[in-house]
Amino acid sequence: MSNFLTSSIGKKVIMSLSGLFLILFLCVHLSVNLLLLVSEEAFNAGCDFMALPFIKVIEPVLALGFIVHIIWASVLTIQNQKARPAKYAKRCQSQNCTWASRNMYILGALVLAFLALHIATVWYQFKFGEITSHYEFVSSFLKQPCFGVIYIIAAILLGLHITHGFWSAFQTIGFSNDIWRKRLECIAYFFAFVFAAGFSIIPLYFMIFGN
């Protein structure tokens, strides 16, 4: 494994694996979130479950996943910028690749900005605040249009990020060929849709029915 982590493919494999790990996390997160639409008890139970010690130990790993994904993305992006010192005067990239695939770093950065907001508000309160009902807290938080709208936009950005990120992760670890690529792209769009729709349906629900 000598020099693996410093090689271009090695670095991308790290992006790929950390990305897939984060998608896994998103699946769990979304499942718990969707309990908001079931009932107050269900969501609170979900929150209590997530607070159990054996789940808690995953938290630092999760944080590490985020940090690695972000740092490696930054390193790769800087290298990629350097690889073309003189830019083109005219480019028609829309002809040959998707917008999301070209703007993964920007999409990622926006999602990160949202993440900061999310940690500062909801996550911090969950962790250190004195909340009696998690359901109560979330519903009153998302009812506010400013937060609700931000959460919806973030969900869409995340979905876009995943349209490319998901299949790209498999391509990077070598799990793709001409047949599987089409399938992976379909699955990517499916996941992207589920995350974008799933995460935005909740603030939408509270904004509409919360009052």
Partner 1 sequence: MADKILKELTLKIWRQKDAKSQGGFKTYKVHNISTGTSFLEMLDILNEQLVEQNEEPVAFDHDCREGICGTCSLFVDGRAHGPDDDVTTCQLHMRRFEDGATITIEPWRCGAFPVIKDLIVDRKAYDKILQAGGYVSVNTGGVPDANAIPIANDKAEEAMDAAACIGCGACAATCKNSSAMLFVAAKVSQLALLPQGKIEAARRAKAMVAKMDELGFGNCTNTGACEMECPKSISISHIARLNREFLKAKLKD
Q: How far is the CB of 109 from partner 1 (least distance, A)?
A: 15
Ranges within 70-109 binding partner 1 (CB under 8 A): 76, 79-80, 82-93, 95-98, 101-102, 104
Token digits for 5? 């982590």
Q: How deeply is 118 buried, as exposed, middle or buried, from its count of CB atoms within 10 A (0-12, 13-18, 19+)?
A: middle
Q: Binding residue for partner 1 (CB under 8 A) from 39, 61, 174, 190?
A: 174
Ranges within 30-59 binding partner 1 (CB under 8 A): none
Residue whose tokens read 């900061």: 116
Query: Is residue 17 a contact residue for partner 1 (CB under 8 A)?
Result: no
Pairwise CA distance, residues 19 & 162, whole Å = 9
* Longest CA–CA separation in the chain, Å: 59
Q: How far is the CB of 98 from partner 1 (least distance, A)?
A: 7
Name the residue nearer to partner 1 (CB basis): 151 or 166. 166
| Cα torsion through 145, 147, 153, 156, rounded to 10 | -110
Pairwise CA distance, residues 180 & 167, whole Å = 10
Site string for partner 1, 182-211 (x = CB under 8 A): ------------------------------
Backbone phi, psi, residue 206, to 5°: -75, -35
Name the residue nearer to partner 1 (CB basis): 31 or 98. 98
Q: How far is the CB of 154 from partner 1 (least distance, A)?
A: 22
Single-letter amino acid, residue 70? I
The window from 49-57, 126-134, 138-146, 161-169 that contacts partner 1 (CB under 8 A) reads 161-169
Q: Specify whether the CB–CB gap between 29 and 65 falls below 8 A.
A: no
Give contact residues for partner 1 (rule: CB under 8 A): 1-4, 7-13, 76, 79-80, 82-93, 95-98, 101-102, 104, 164, 167-168, 171-178, 181
